[in-house]
Amino acid sequence: MSMFFLRGVAAARAKLRAFGLESSGGVLVTFALAMIPVMLTLGVALDYGRAARARSALQEAADSAAIAAARLPSGTQTARQAAAQNVALSNLAIMGLRVTPTVTETESAGNYQVTITGAMPTTFMQLVRISSVPVSATSTATNNGPGITSTQTTTTPANVCILAVGATRPQAFLANSGATINAPTCEVDVASTATPAAILNSGASFTLSSMCIAGTNIINNGATFTNGASVLKLGCNSAQDPFAAQMPSVNVGPCTVSNQNYSGSVTLQPGVYCGGFNFNGSGTITLSPGLYIFKNVSWNLNSGWTMTGSGVTFYFADSSYLQFNGTAGVVLSAPTTGTYANILMFEAPGLATSAFTINGAATSADCLTGLIHLPSRDITFNSGANVNSASITMVTNTLIMDGVTWNLKPSAFNLPSASSTVTTTTSVSIPSPSHLIR
């Protein structure tokens, strides 16, 4: 562009000097004729200058369009083409460029190339029948490159999976020989400040994020904490029970099933169960989804029975109890939606304390999933009453574990610790950002 312009200016100056010294009568005519090619040269230089600026503008638009295409690696070619064209036209409009462009996007091995072609209208060059000058620009962008790894660290309260709320009860938590809890993401809290607040006997083993006992006096006869003795904390703030105020109210209607003896296989429906229920011999109980209300119930599930139910909730209107004996097996999970979402067992508020016993030796571990909110119950899991839980949160008055193995994870009901936190570090891989490689 500059060479054309400078040559034109130099030629014009030379002609002007020559004609300035000329005194003949035909000088004006000669001068006018001589200026035609000079002015045409200047016009061509101006048109080419505008074309060069147009190419620069097209290059910027092509760069932006290529990056736009590279940001859609999982999109179709049609989608990338549309994105590239929209970005290119927007950029050219902002620049005020009078070019009608054609935008083409192609992809190869993660590289996204955009070519913009167009024609720049001329002004002076039209005198020599050149109406436009072709202009084009090409740019390539890619996502191929080293990604970015971001490390994020968060600190949150530990999750309490088991809470014994009996604040004045001696040995509110008793773990006898053979009792094992494998719950590395769970905390066990005991609210008792009595003497002793808890008894941890030799042969008991715990894999926990923490065990918090509000009292300072316990009997520890050599229980094992697999991830260090510091897991056991005394005189700490135990978690508060937040669920009593959150439980849905239940309208206990008249009995729908009363005083039954079962054998073989049976399917039960939701309703109000009253009186004594015995399951003799061996068999299977299938519980249909829904709410089971127990009113003045004693339920004895004898050895050899298996009870299964998905989407079920047990509500204890009083001191009704279920007793699982011998090799009785239980596989129960709470509903995941609705009024009783994630609630497996709960009770009427303000009940007096009472016992709840689950005996062991089931052929396979019981599986309980959901919230068990029984703050009035002194629950005993006798030898062999093993539990594998996808997720569980248990609130009891007291808890006794005799030779059982529990594998637990927190339930959907979060019970935050008042004394411990968990620090989690996660690495997040961020794909390589789109960048130009032209």
Question: Could you report the per-residue pLDDT of 360-370, keeping only the tens digit for each?
Answer: 544 455 688 99
**What's the pLDDT score for residue 3?**
54
Do residues 121 and 184 share a domain? no
Q: Return d(Cα 215, Cα 237) in angstroms, integer.
A: 9
pLDDT over 70 percentage in the chain: 79
Q: Return d(Cα 403, Cα 225) in angstroms, integer.
A: 16
Residue 231: helix, strand or coil by DSSP? helix
The pLDDT tens digits of the residues spanning 321-377 come to 888 777 777 889 999 999 999 999 999 999 999 988 876 544 455 688 999 999 999
Do residues 112 and 247 share a domain? no
- The pLDDT mean for the chain works out to 83
Do residues 327 and 354 share a domain? yes
Q: Which among 260, 368, 264 is positioned nearest to 312, based on CA atoms? A: 368
Do residues 138 and 159 share a domain? no
Angle made by CA atoms 208, 373, 275, in degrees to the nearest 5 = 135
Residue 410 backbone dihedrals phi, psi, to 5 degrees: -65, 150
Q: Return d(Cα 365, Cα 362) in angstroms, integer.
A: 6
Residue 437 included in any domain: no
For residue 401, give the H/E element and its range. strand 392-401
Under DSSP, the state recorded for 76 is -
**If pLDDT is split at 50, 70 and 90, which confidence band does 122 have?**
confident
Do residues 130 and 204 share a domain? no
Per-residue burial over 17-49, b if 16 or more Cβ lie within 10 Å, else e, is eeeeeeeeeeeeeeeeebbeebeebbbbbbbbe
**What's the pLDDT score for residue 403?**
81
Angle made by CA atoms 396, 399, 405, in degrees to the nearest 5 = 115
For 110, the token pair is: 């993660």
Which of 95, 118, 142 is the last residue in one of the domains?
A: 142
Pairing of strands 329-333, 367-381: parallel
Q: Can you give the pTM of this predicted structure? A: 0.65
At residue 415, does pLDDT exceed 70?
A: yes
Residue 150 included in any domain: no
The pLDDT tens digits of the residues spanning 253-273 come to 999 999 999 999 999 999 999
Pairing of strands 405-407, 232-234: unpaired
**What's the pLDDT score for residue 244?**
87
Enclosing domain of residue 386: 155-424
Do residues 194 and 166 share a domain? yes
**If pLDDT is split at 50, 70 and 90, which confidence band does 297 have?**
very high
Residue 276 included in any domain: yes
Q: Which residue has the higher pLDDT, 405 or 38?
A: 405
Q: Return d(Cα 353, Cα 397) in angstroms, integer.
A: 8
Domain count, the chain: 2
**What's the pLDDT score for residue 361?**
46
The pLDDT tens digits of the residues spanning 188-220 come to 999 999 999 999 999 999 999 999 999 999 999
The pLDDT tens digits of the residues spanning 56-73 come to 888 888 888 888 888 887
Residue 148 included in any domain: no
Distances in Å between the Cα of 49 and the Cα atoms of 11, 83, 350 are: 19, 30, 90
Is the peptide bond preceding residue 349 cis, with omega within 30 degrees of 0? no
At residue 18, does pLDDT exceed 90?
A: no
Which of 87, 114, 142 is the last residue in one of the domains?
A: 142
- Under a CB-based contact definition with an 8 Å cutoff, are residues 356 and 378 in contact? yes
